[in-house]
Structure 1
Amino acid sequence: MTRRTGARVVADMLDGYGVTHVFLVPAILRRTLAELELHHPHIERVVTHGEKAAAYMADGYARVSGRPGIAAAQVVGALNLAAGLREPFLAGSPVIALTGGRSPATKFRQVYQEIDDLPAFEPVTKFNATVDDAGRFPDMLRHAFRVATTGSPGPVHLQIQGNEGQLDTDETDAEPLVEPAFATVPPVRPAPDDQSVTAVLQLLAASAQPVIVAGGGVRWSGAGAELVALAEALQIPVATSANGKDTFPGTHPLSLGVVGTYSRECANHAVARADLVCFIGTQTGSMTTHFWAVPPEGTPAVQIDIEPSHLGRNYPLRASVAADARAALARMLTLAAREPQPGRSAWLAEVERVRADWRSRYREVLTSDAVPIRPERIAAELTSGLPRDAVLVADTGHAGMWMAQFHDVTSPDQGYLRSAGHLGWAFSAGVGAKCAAPDRPVVVFTGDAGLYYHLGEIETAVRRRVNLITVVNNNHGGNQSKRGFDRAYDGRPTEQSRELWTYEEVDFARIAAEMGALGLRVDKPGELAPALDRALSAGRPVVIDVHTDIGVVAPPPVSF
């Protein structure tokens, strides 16, 4: 047998699984990193300024590439990495975290930086385990990829013995075997049974006012084309969750937009009025359903999901299909010809009316020339100005609200990634997304409150030549919190309430330039399109600092 270090095993296996980037805060797996440079130099080692940023970069990489993103940190930073895994766990994204761990020789002796971090990973992973023998690297890494990619995707954590994972310096006879099938999501596509598919189709055929709600599972399955084809064949309007926004173009006549809490009003209207809701690839959580008010509990529902445990979790079902979204939609399309569809002209006319009413009501702010700039105008400019193959990465909070309500995906080739709830995620995730798709334009939309979290990663993007474009809604405040703090002060805004959500005015374009990026300041709406055009052709990281009106808040979600 050939003896090799655990580091060589890990490096060869990462290469075998098609990994192209590892995001880390040193020092961790030093020997493995050296083996990557010596034997697999195409795998880039991206050193970040924080463990959460490394996790977020791995998450963005995974969501764009469809491959698990790899993040790593030594033992003292492991808890920070665990905090970063909350986002991919909630979003259902395959991130594999590698951290250092305690050594048996020094446990319980107050060794420098010693803490048992393993329990912290338990609530934010699908699988959480230790590697305590170099001979276990092959089977544990295979299992990590297998768990991260199967069913509903999610994070995995492996704690490697040694505060810096020094176990990788040990030698082993173990072979670096890989399972290429588990290198991408989904590795397997469970097929639907015709009886379940027919039951769903019959209920849809009997429905006068059906709506489809498509989620992130449709995105992971790559089932956007099948979703569009089925909606057109059955003439059913489609709303999406924020995670599923790029599965159905917002400019399609049957598109309702994003439904739920960070939502478009006409989507909530139609879903609330539906007499049957077909959930596809969504866990029907609170954000997608506005805390189970859209649709109201008791609304007849059917559901399709790759994870059987998701079926009927929040809405009792008339029928369900446990299968991969693309396989299920393709089979539905084949069998749909057997089920005659009712005329739905009245329902489609109502849907078109609420869509038109929404656009009419907000046309003025979408085209506003007001100074300071309104955020709705930024959303409109991103709708019209992004290239056909661009990826838009949106932060949570107001950034997520503005994009969910006022931005449209205009092409099936465009991508849309959104935060599952962690402010500051978008910029670092955008770096990872651009690493995964270097030939596609990647644009981040965040606010000044979001950018502050990981401002130092601008230097990472510059150093690694990651030509990401970041659009900052800079209103020198976190004004999503305005309403809440006003209520806390008896409904009256005061200087004391304002100090809880306002900041000093900062020029992020100047900061970006100091770090080596191209910084562009935008003060007037007419400057937005030229700035975006310049950024798209800059060939370097760009921060577009858009100074906006702090008094403008996103419309609240509605239920009917």
Structure 2
Amino acid sequence: MSENGQAAMNGARYIAESFEALGVSHVFFMDAILRPTLVEMEELGIKRILAHSEKSAVYMADGYARASNRVGVCMAQSVGAANLAAGLQDAYLHRAPVVALTGRKEPMLRYRNAYQEVLHAPLFQSVTKASMDVAEARELPHLLPQAFRMATDGSPRPVHLDLNGLGGEIIEKGAVPSPVLPDPALGRLPAHRPVASRAMIEAAAARLAQAKRPVMVVGAGAIQVDAHVEIRAFAEACKIPVATSLGGRTIVPTTHPLHIGTVGTYSAPPGNRLVHEADLVIYIGCHAGDQPTNNYTVPAQGTAIIQIDLDGQEIGRNYPGVTAVWGCPRQAVADLAAHVTPQTAWADFAAHATAAVAEWWRGMEPAMRSDAAPLRVERLCREISEALPENAILVADTGYSGIWTATMVDLPHPGQSYLRAAGSLGWAFPAALGAQCGAPDRPVVCFSGDGAFYYHLSELETQRRWNIPVVTVINNNSGFGQGTPKVASFYDGRSGSPEEINRFGPTDFCALARTFGVDGYRVERAEDLGPVLKAAIAARKPALIDVVTYIDPRAPEAWSPPSV
């Protein structure tokens, strides 16, 4: 017995019971790591999702975390640590709460040319808040809760625990003399957050009062604190247009008259133009990096800025002279709304914004209704918009998948969610599997190009093994469509084979899915797509829809301000 009267337990049982206490329902891993712990987890009802690569395991944990607002857990043995670290880049950039566990060689084997061993801490330094070494099992009651605490606090981001033993076995076998379990609240994003001061709210209200053309730019930080109701109420009461980063999509329905689309490098033209026209931009839970600002040109440097963020280190990082509101975005927006008197000029600018967006959509209508074969991606996006249930989660890959879905897919229902890759091609499919594990009662649809899907198509076996009812839609154009014009431009006036740089296939992914035991559908005619999508989503079974598309149509291109 320990000093506090609790029976000592070994490390394996302590980790398993801690995960149960923290609300971890799934762990995503590559063999061989914490095998006795995994056995203990089964007894406690925790699902153990064996993946086919470390990066897939991380992406699953990332998707799980984003869909559930709980901490995602991924694990790999010592030799897989480098691959696990590489997979954490997306979770780090998006600010998702993930805890990664790796084994490491025991101390007497380090710095001695041990087989398959490199130092782990440097690998994780740039993709985690912290990489902590766990040398003894008795450290677990301190370091395991701390990892979860750090992963969820402030700007959520991954944390790494490096466990003694190739597969963590030294920690598993060791004794935990005082096995106090973690506080369950540490297993999810905080319910209570610091509130912005009254002085900050009043300063922001005073600056907003001076504006004639204000807009909001909302990011993932507002989604994470569930500020949907407050932001929509603020926008409607004050008639302020709402733009979003990709991570902020669905903060208001995309068909709302005040929604002007994504902004930045993955923007349809009116979004960037309208934010550039604004004389004040209110950033809400958006860190204003190069993507949502079109390389820091939208809005122009010198534009009046109010920046609302839970992480004070982000306020003013990319635009000088901001009016800072440091605190929970949900509470801050509600407080700001209470201090603001709407102006007639704001409604005039909002009407201008609504008209500009509507005009752009009218111009896209012919492509969205095209019956061309191979299919146009605009038509694919329209059919997805109409097929998605009211509580669906749409998971999109990066590159053209991100641009197409950010600009052309409508998400009109308040209960819909949009998760996107923060830059890692191939992220979407395993992330969608994780998202479905984190939100088992919601339909999950994955949008991926064929180039991205090749990365982790082996996870079709994982999907079938666990009967994960994700519907994956492949935009199958037999190449990397986004770079096609640029590659062709390099061959201007020259002979050669540009197709060797970014073309591949053709591949029948429908047949491939069926080989893995997943329902496969191949769509080559536009009129077949809608019925197939709706039937596959309604079936709630693992499914893949292979849509043969045309590579040449260009996704909407972001507007940029004229060069000075």
Q: TM-score, normalised by structure 1?
A: 0.97
Q: Is the 8 A contact 2:267 2:556 kept in 1?
A: no
1:11 paired with 2:12, answer no
Report deviation, 1:92: 0.5
Superposed CA deviations along residues 47-72 of structure 1, whole A, max 9, x for unmatched, are 00000000000000000000110000
Q: Is the 8 A contact 2:217 2:283 kept in 1?
A: yes
Q: Is the 8 A contact 1:149 1:187 kept in 2?
A: no
The match for 2:133 is 130
Superposed CA deviations along residues 29-64 of structure 1, whole A, max 9, x for unmatched, are 1111111112x12x1000000000000000000000
The match for 1:308 is 312
Q: Is the 8 A contact 2:238 2:346 kept in 1?
A: no
1:55 paired with 2:58, answer yes
Report deviation, 1:187: 4.6
Q: Is the 8 A contact 2:274 2:353 kept in 1?
A: yes
Q: Within 1, Cα distance between the matches of 2:242 and 2:148?
A: 33
Partner residue of 1:159 out of 145, 158, 162: 162
Report deviation, 1:93: 0.5
Q: Within 1, Cα distance between the matches of 2:534 and 2:29?
A: 32
Q: Within 1, Cα distance between the matches of 2:42 and 2:298?
A: 52
2:250 counterpart SS class = helix
The match for 1:262 is 266
The match for 1:385 is 387
- Sort the Cα spacing of 1:86 and 1:318 in 2 relative to 1 into closer, same or farther, 3 A: closer
The match for 1:280 is 284
Q: Is the 8 A contact 1:391 1:441 kept in 2?
A: yes
One-letter amino acid matched to 1:290: N
Partner residue of 1:230 out of 227, 231, 234: 234
Matches within 5 A, 1:240-251: 240-251=244-255
The match for 2:416 is 414
Matches within 5 A, 1:133-144: 133-144=136-147
The match for 1:335 is 339
Superposed CA deviations along residues 1-24 of structure 1, whole A, max 9, x for unmatched, are 222100111001100000000000
* Structure 1: gaps of 5 or more residues: none
One-letter amino acid matched to 1:49: H
- Sort the Cα spacing of 1:36 and 1:529 in 2 relative to 1 into closer, same or farther, 3 A: same
Query: Which stretch of structure 1 is more off in the superposition, 45-54 or 376-385?
Result: 376-385
One-letter amino acid matched to 2:218: A
Superposed CA deviations along residues 55-92 of structure 1, whole A, max 9, x for unmatched, are 00000000000011000000111100000000000111
The match for 1:34 is 39
Q: Is the 8 A contact 1:28 1:74 kept in 2?
A: yes
Matches within 5 A, 1:346-385: 346-385=348-387
Matches within 5 A, 1:108-123: 108-123=111-126
Report deviation, 1:328: 0.8
Q: Within 2, Cα distance between the matches of 1:217 and 1:493?
A: 48
Partner residue of 2:149 out of 142, 146, 150: 146
Q: Is the 8 A contact 1:446 1:472 kept in 2?
A: yes
Partner residue of 1:485 out of 481, 484, 487: 487
The match for 1:535 is 536
Percent identity, aligned pairs only? Answer: 42
Q: Within 2, Cα distance between the matches of 1:346 and 1:477?
A: 45
Query: Which stretch of structure 1 is more off in the superposition, 548-557 or 161-170?
Result: 548-557
Superposed CA deviations along residues 167-217 of structure 1, whole A, max 9, x for unmatched, are 212122121421222221135311111121122122222211100000000
One-letter amino acid matched to 1:83: A
Q: Is the 8 A contact 2:285 2:309 kept in 1?
A: yes
The match for 1:104 is 107
- Sort the Cα spacing of 1:438 and 1:314 in 2 relative to 1 into closer, same or farther, 3 A: same
1:247 counterpart SS class = coil
2:162 counterpart SS class = strand
2:349 counterpart SS class = helix
Query: Which stretch of structure 1 is more off in the superposition, 343-352 or 152-161?
Result: 343-352
1:257 counterpart SS class = strand
2:48 counterpart SS class = strand
Size of the aligned set, in residue pairs, is 555
Report deviation, 1:405: 1.0
One-letter amino acid matched to 1:303: Q
One-letter amino acid matched to 1:396: T
The match for 1:463 is 465
One-letter amino acid matched to 1:301: I
Report deviation, 1:495: 4.8
Q: Within 2, Cα distance between the matches of 1:194 and 1:395?
A: 40
- Sort the Cα spacing of 1:369 and 1:27 in 2 relative to 1 into closer, same or farther, 3 A: same
RMSD: 1.3
Ranges of 4+ aligned residues in structure 1 off by more than 6 Å: none
Q: Within 1, Cα distance between the matches of 2:253 and 2:355?
A: 19
Q: Within 2, Cα distance between the matches of 1:44 and 1:275?
A: 51
- Sort the Cα spacing of 1:386 and 1:494 in 2 relative to 1 into closer, same or farther, 3 A: farther
Q: Within 2, Cα distance between the matches of 1:495 and 1:411?
A: 49
Q: Within 2, Cα distance between the matches of 1:333 and 1:148?
A: 31
Matches within 5 A, 1:418-457: 418-457=420-459
Q: TM-score, normalised by structure 2?
A: 0.96
- Sort the Cα spacing of 1:476 and 1:492 in 2 relative to 1 into closer, same or farther, 3 A: farther
Report deviation, 1:342: 3.8
Q: Within 2, Cα distance between the matches of 1:237 and 1:541?
A: 39
Report deviation, 1:148: 0.3
* Structure 2: gaps of 5 or more residues: 2-6
Superposed CA deviations along residues 280-334 of structure 1, whole A, max 9, x for unmatched, are 1011000000101111111111100000010011112341100011111122233
Report deviation, 1:114: 2.1
Query: Which stretch of structure 1 is more off in the superposition, 44-53 or 188-197?
Result: 188-197
One-letter amino acid matched to 1:31: P
1:549 paired with 2:550, answer yes
1:432 counterpart SS class = helix
Q: Within 2, Cα distance between the matches of 1:495 and 1:55?
A: 40
The match for 2:4 is none
1:253 paired with 2:254, answer no
- Sort the Cα spacing of 1:264 and 1:555 in 2 relative to 1 into closer, same or farther, 3 A: closer
Matches within 5 A, 1:157-196: 157-166=160-169, 167-196=171-200
Q: Within 2, Cα distance between the matches of 1:528 and 1:71?
A: 36
Q: Within 1, Cα distance between the matches of 2:151 and 2:416?
A: 25
Q: Is the 8 A contact 1:190 1:327 kept in 2?
A: no
Q: Is the 8 A contact 1:462 1:540 kept in 2?
A: no
1:105 counterpart SS class = helix
The match for 2:503 is 502
Report deviation, 1:265: 1.2
Q: Is the 8 A contact 1:486 1:493 kept in 2?
A: no
Q: Is the 8 A contact 2:268 2:556 kept in 1?
A: no
Q: Is the 8 A contact 1:97 1:155 kept in 2?
A: yes
